[in-house]
Chains A and B, each alone.
Chain A
Amino acid sequence: AQSVTQLDSHVSVSEGTPVLLRCNYSSSYSPSLFWYVQHPNKGLQLLLKYTSAATLVKGINGFEAEFKKSETSFHLTKPSAHMSDAAEYFCVVSVGPNFNKFYFGSGTKLNVKP
């Protein structure tokens, strides 16, 4: 069975400080892992994805995530938060013969304080 757990429903950071959004997964198969961001009234946007290549994945807008199989984690980080990073972030596991099924975490709302 597949599942994704985002450990924090809300994270609040000050502008210019590091961001850490935590994600743990459970999968019966070798998964692909994704982070998506959703800004208010906009569609989901792909930040980055892990597909069994390098374990440290760099994405857009300065975000990166590290796949740690031993810890079944895929935490999202950014060295310095911007006000524009305030949004909801989803960790996603994709499985299936064509990776055609997605399982979403419950989401983490990131608040960035000035």
Chain B
Amino acid sequence: SQTIHQWPATLVQPVGSPLSLECTVEGTSNPNLYWYRQAAGRGLQLLFYSVGIGQISSEVPQNLSASRPQDRQFILSSKKLLLSDSGFYLCASLRKTGYTFGSGTRLTVV
């Protein structure tokens, strides 16, 4: 079965600092990978998805970017964080058996 490792679990970063959140997948190959964000009082919003190495689709314009350097690695980045980037970030993987989610990263930008 699929397992998603996502770290760190919590992160406090100052405004203007860079960000790198990493997600790795075990137990599957060639999954579709997703980054979601939940801002306070809102549902989970799809940020990026990737159907393969180097292939990234962005769902909403924002201060963030994503990369997929390896089949089972998906990275969410920012060069300069904004206060509005605070939220709960979830990595997800999709295979034929369905979705698997990571445990999430709670990011607070101060």
Name which residue of chain B comes closest to A44, CB basis.
B101
The one of B36, B102, B104 in contact with A104, judged by C-beta atoms closer than 8 angstroms, is B36
- The bracket for how many chain B residues form the interface is 20 to 34
Question: Given A41-B9, A42-B103, A43-B104, is A106 in contact with B90 using a C-beta cutoff of 8 Å?
Answer: no
The one of B46, B90, B98 in contact with A46, judged by C-beta atoms closer than 8 angstroms, is B98
CB-CB contacts of A94-111 with B at 8 A, as 1s and 0s?
000010111111110000
The one of B9, B36, B43, B49 in contact with A106, judged by C-beta atoms closer than 8 angstroms, is B43
Count residues of chain A with CB under 8 A from any CB of chain B. 20
Q: Chain A residues in contact with chain B, CB under 8 A? A: 4, 6, 9, 36, 41-44, 46, 49, 90, 98, 100-107
Name which residue of chain A comes closest to B103, CB basis.
A43
Which chain B residues in 39-53 approach chain A with CB under 8 Å? 41-46, 49
Name which residue of chain B comes closest to A9, CB basis.
B41
Shortest 10 CB-CB contacts between residues of A and residues of B: A104-B44, A44-B101, A104-B43, A106-B43, A43-B103, A43-B101, A105-B43, A100-B32, A43-B102, A106-B42
